Structure formats: structure tokens, C-alpha cells
Amino acid sequence: MPLKSRLSALCDLTSRLIRRYPGTVALFGFCSGIASFVLVERQAGLAKVIAAVMLVSWLWLMLENSLRRSLERWFGWKVPRPLLRYVTQMVHQESLFFIIPFFFITTTWNSGQSVFTVMLGVAALISLVDPLYYKWLAPRRWIYLAFHALTLFAVLLTALPIIFHLSTPQSYLWALGIAVVLALPSLSGLLRTWNWKSLIAVPLLAIVVGLAGWMGRTWVPPATLWLTDVAVTMSMDDASREPGNRLRQLTSAELRTNGLYAFTAINAPRGLKERIYHEWMHNGRRVDRIPLDINGGREAGYRAWTHKRNFPDDAQGKWRVRVMTEAGQMIGMLRFEVVE
């Protein structure tokens, strides 16, 4: 049998199996996504391959119709539409279940970041439930493309630091820019008619979306940075890089004895160099911002700390130390209280 006929028969067989056992697509997407996260944790080199395959698969998603026509015209391969539809759904599932564990770990749940992570969870649920995916999402083309752009944005936030060792601000800018460009078709779908005004309206809408995405960066968790250990303490062991007694409450007199250390161990991709900040907040007002440079690759997290000696006379009250990226995304938070 010629190769062309074999490929056509394989496509037909795959399409029939998917139609007969549709639940296997959802199960495969879920299991492979979780397996991807486990492999990322255990072997960084394989994580690069997985992330690269996902990015290539997104190129397929955006060009699936033209590629289908080209395959039929050049090779005579008529790829069944149900097969393409299920492949698209599987890539959505694979992508979302690959990134959600990262965002689940890095989200500071008592902040606005929880909104973004919950939104990704809702998107994953839609990709799993066929009636929602095929009867509500897919027929609405502009919403479907916006769904593409949102998922790709989250995938790039996770993949770029792993593949290219880009810092968090660089990754956010690249991910936002690419997502806005790919969202242009969905933005044009908001317009009922297409004329010269549309040529002005669509770029303006893209600019607004881009600005909104940048202004809302504090609501987006840094997907590849998370805290593995934190402590507020009055002493540090420089040799072992371990904190002393961990404190949740102390008096003003104890505070002025030797100041305080804010200790953080931050997990980051191998090879990543990142500048972060410890922002010392007193009763909701920032009183200090201290930079720290971290290097990724250590399983237990890169250990770093800041030592603050200068405290106001009226230091009583609630204190927080926010761990922030240069892009303004919060990695986590330490809390303590000063009493009289």
C-alpha cells in the first residue's frame, strides 16, 4: 500500500476511535499535563522539549485551516475535520494542565492573583467538558480566538523562562506582546462591519488590551518563581544560610536590639538570574524596598535575605514583607506583628 494511502487510512482510523471514545481525549490531556509538570520538576532538559512542543503546537492551532487545505492540495491527504477538532481540544487541555500546577503553586491566594488562576481553572474546565467546548465556545469565533490568546499567554509565561532563561519582566513583555498580536482576529470580531474605521479601531483596541495587560501584571502570578521557605527572624547563620528562631510577634524593644531578617528561599528554573525585591510594609504603607539577586537551579530554592535595622519610632502594628519581581508581580509574603 502506498505511503499516502497508509496515512489516509491512519487518519480515518484515528478519527473513528476518537468519535467512539471521546472521553479518552480529556483523560489523556489531564494525565499528560500532570506528567509534564512532574517531569519539569525532575529533569529541566526534558522540560525544554515539552515546552517547545507546546509552542509549536500553538502554531498549528493558528494555521490549522490553511495547513489542512495545503495537505489536501499538495499530497492529497484529506484530514477529517473531527480529527482536527479533537487535536485542537487536546492541545488546549495539554497546555492548560501543564501550566495550572505552576500557577497554583505560585499564586498568593489572598491577593488579586487568585482571580487569574481561577480564570485558568475555568478555561481548563471548559476544555474538558465537550458541551461547553463545542456548543458554546467553538461556534463563537472571536471568543474562541480570545481563549487561544489567553491560554497562549499563560503558556509563554511558563515556557519562556524555562527555554530561554528570560527574567520575569522580559517573559511578561514577550508573552503579552505575542498574545496581543494573536488576539487581533478576536478583536476584529467585535466589529459588526469592516471599513476604514476598523483599520483604526482594531489597533487601538490592541493597544488598550496591551496596556490593560501591563497594568494588571500585579494580578498575574510569576509562573516559574515560588517560595519554598520563608522566615522572619532576629538572627541568621551565615555558614549554613539558615534562619534562627522564626517569629510571628515581637516587641518594640526586641525589634531595636539587632533589627530583623526577612529570609526567603525561592525556586527558579535552572540558569535563571533574576532580581527581586523585599518590600517592607507597615500598616499598609511601604517603608523600604531592598533588592536581591537570585540564581535558579537549586531544588530547595535559592536562599537570600534582607536585614532591616532602621524602624520608625512608632513601629507597633502589622508588618508585611512582600517578595516582588522587577515587573511588580508578587512571589509571596511574610507577616509579623510588633507589639508594645
Contact criterion met (CB below 8 Å) for 258 and 235: yes
Instruction: Report the alpha-carbon distance of residue 30 to residue 63 in Å, rounded.
Output: 24
* SS3 labels along 212-230: HHHHHHHHCCCCCCEEEEE
Looking at the fold, whether 195 and 173 belong to one and the same domain comes out as yes
Average pLDDT over every residue of 254-270: 87
- Residue 182 shares a structural domain with residue 285: no
Same domain (yes/no): 262, 206: no
Residues 238 and 205 in one domain: no
* pLDDT at residue 330 is higher than 60: yes
Do 148 and 230 reside in the same domain of the chain? no
If asked whether residues 274 and 135 sit together in one domain, one would say: no
Nearest C-alpha neighbor of 223 from the set 316, 151, 290, 132:
151
**Distance (Å, whole) CA 279 – CA 284:** 11
Q: pLDDT tens-digit profile of 205-252? A: 788 888 989 999 999 999 888 898 999 999 998 888 899 999 999 988
pLDDT tens digits, 150-169: 888 898 898 888 888 888 89
**∠ Cα 302 304 308 (to 5°):** 165
Neighbours of 67 (CB within 10 A): 14
Q: Which of 193, 219, 245 is the last residue of a domain?
A: 219
Closest CA to 268 of 31, 146, 105: 105
DSSP track, 171-236: HHHHHHHHHHHHTHHHHHTT-SS-SHHHHHHHHHHHHHHHHHHHHGGGGS--TT-EEEEEEEES-E
The region, left, alpha or beta by phi > 0 then psi within -120 to 50, assigned to residue 98 is alpha
For the chain, what percentages of helix, strand and coil (3-state, to nearest 5) are there?
55, 20, 20
pLDDT score, position 3 = 52
Q: How confident is the model at residue 42 (pLDDT cuts 50, 70, 90)?
A: very low
Residue 148 sits in the same domain as residue 270? no
Strand partners, 181: none
Looking at the fold, whether 215 and 243 belong to one and the same domain comes out as no
Cell numbers given for 334: 511574610
Q: What is the domain range of residue 306?
A: 226-339
| Shared-domain flag, residues 59 and 135 | yes
Output the pTM of the full model.
Answer: 0.79
Q: Which CATH number covers residue 329?
A: 2.60.40.1930
Residue 139, SS3 per DSSP: coil
**Mean pLDDT computed over every residue of the chain:** 79
Please count the structural domains in the chain.
2
Last residue of one domain, picked from the residues 184, 219, 254: 219
Answer yes or no: is pLDDT of 120 > 60: yes
Question: Residue 279 has what pLDDT?
Answer: 95
Kindly state whether residues 230 and 199 are assigned to the same domain: no
Question: What cell was used for 306?
Answer: 534582607
In a shared domain, residues 284 and 197: no
* Chosen domain end from 185, 219, 253: 219
Separation CA 138–CA 159 (nearest Å): 26
Go through 2-23 and write b for each residue having 16 or more CB atoms within 10 A of its CB, e for each that does not.
eeeeeebeebeebbeebeeeee
- Same domain flag for 163 and 287: no
List beta partners, residue 293: 275
pLDDT tens track for 58-102: 666 666 666 666 766 776 666 666 666 777 777 788 788 888 888
Q: Within the chain, how many helices (H) and strands (E) appear?
A: 12, 10
Give backbone dihedrals phi and psi of 178, rounded to 5 degrees, phi first: -65, -40
